Every structure is written in C-alpha cells, then in structure tokens.
Amino acid sequence: MLDGFYHALEAIGYTHPIHPTQVNMPIGLVVGALVLALAAVLSKKAHLAVSARHVVIVAFFFLIVTAGAGLMDWLHFYSGVWLFPIKVKVVLAVFLFFLLGAAVLAGGRLEPTSPVLISLYVLSFLTVVALGYFGANLVFGGRTPPLPQQYHAGETVYRMNCCGCHPYGGNAIKPRKAVLGSDKLDNFPKFVGWLRDPRAPMPPFPPERISDAQARQLYQYVKNLHD
C-alpha cells in the first residue's frame, strides 16, 4: 500500500519525499510561538503570550502529521534502515512531541508569561534547529553524482532508492563497502542478483520495487560512475 501511494505520486510527476513539504509548518510555528512569547514578556502584553500558546497547539498537531510523513518516507526511500541522522531525528522528534505537549498542558495552568512556559518554548526552538540540521544532513548528504542526460533514468532510480545509504556512490553505513569500485558492478547479472538478494543491513529490492528495466538503468548509471 505504501509503495502504491508513492508510485501514484510518481505517475503524476512527483518523485520527491513528502516529509519536506510538511516540515516547515511545525518549525515555523515553534519559532513563531517563541517570538510571540518573548514579545509578550518584553511588552508586558499578555494577549501575545495567549497567541503563543495557540500557535504551540497548532504546532503540536502539525508535528504529528509531519512525523507521520517522515515515517512513510523512511520506510519507502530508506527501506527502514537506521542511518545515524535518522536515529537522531527520531529521538529529537519524540523529545519535541513531549516538549510541545507539556507546553500545551502548562499553558492552560500557568501564567501566559511564566518562565516555565518560556523555557519550554526555548527548548522547542533549539530542538527544531537540531532537527533541521540533521534533516539537511540527510538531504545534502544523499545527493546523486551528476552524469550526462542519457543516464537520467538511472539517476532517478538511484535517488529514489539508493542515495540515502549511498550518498555520492559511497556507503553511509559501511564506508569500506562503497558502491564506487564494488565488484558487484562486474556485470549486470551479478549486480541484479545482489540487488534482489543482498546481505544485511541492505534490504532486498524485488521487481515490484525496482523492475528489471529500472535495474538495468540503475546499473548503467552506477557503472559509469565507476568507470
């Protein structure tokens, strides 16, 4: 079902993860809540602090949606592999969930400009900054090496299935087992055999995920990176 959802998006020309389209909402809302809360303290206008609490409530619910999209992207694009940035992002997302939840609950009991609330807003802000850093690490660390237009189809397959664990033809999990220079590139049958039945932690890619035609496009792309 999950792959079907992404294949439907691909059919209309959308080949990117969906998490990045959601992630700016909770980040922006957390920043907005902190700005409003600080403005309330400096100006002594309580209605700004009330607005900050309302913004935090919206951020809390958007975080749930964003985290769900991130989980889907992780399962589809990274096949559930626990890359270090993903581990950190999961821990930070859970921490942010509890911070925002605490801010929502405390906001109904404490004074709008309470130091406790302000502290929760500051911690939430620092957490989204860290989430943004490790998210960028995944995005920019997973770029695909460029090749001529004739290899564009293989590059697309690589970007959608491989670059999370193999940025720039390397290997984020086992650096000594890079794609570039691998003996799995000796010939196509050997390559596709490994693709279908690899050793852990690499997940298998059955024909429903990467067709034989796509596997050949992928092979041509990676083989030319090697050459």
Please give the structure tokens belonging to residue 32.
Answer: 């907005």
Contact present, 84 and 201 (Cβ < 8 Å)? no
Phi, psi of 79, rounded to the nearest 5 degrees: 55, 30
Q: pTM for this one?
A: 0.69
C-alpha–C-alpha distance, residues 2 and 110, integer Å: 43
Task: Name residues whose C-beta falls within 8 Å of residue 112's C-beta, 6 or more positions apart in sequence.
Answer: 40, 46, 49, 50, 52, 53
Q: What is the pLDDT of residue 214?
A: 94
**Can you spell out the DSSP letters for 22-47?**
HHHHHHHHHHHHHHHHHHHHHHT-HH
Q: What is the pLDDT of residue 103?
A: 94
Report the CATH number of the 149-226 domain.
1.10.760.10
What are the extents of the domains in the chain?
Answer: 2-141, 149-226
C-alpha–C-alpha distance, residues 133 and 89, integer Å: 9
Helices 19-43, 115-141: inter-axial angle, 10-degree rounding: 150
Quick: pLDDT tens for 15-70.
778 898 888 999 999 999 999 999 999 998 989 999 999 999 999 999 999 999 99
Q: What is the pLDDT of residue 226?
A: 56
Ranges under pLDDT 50 in the chain:
227
Q: What is the pLDDT of residue 15?
A: 75
Four-residue CA torsion sign, 134, 225, 6, 191: negative
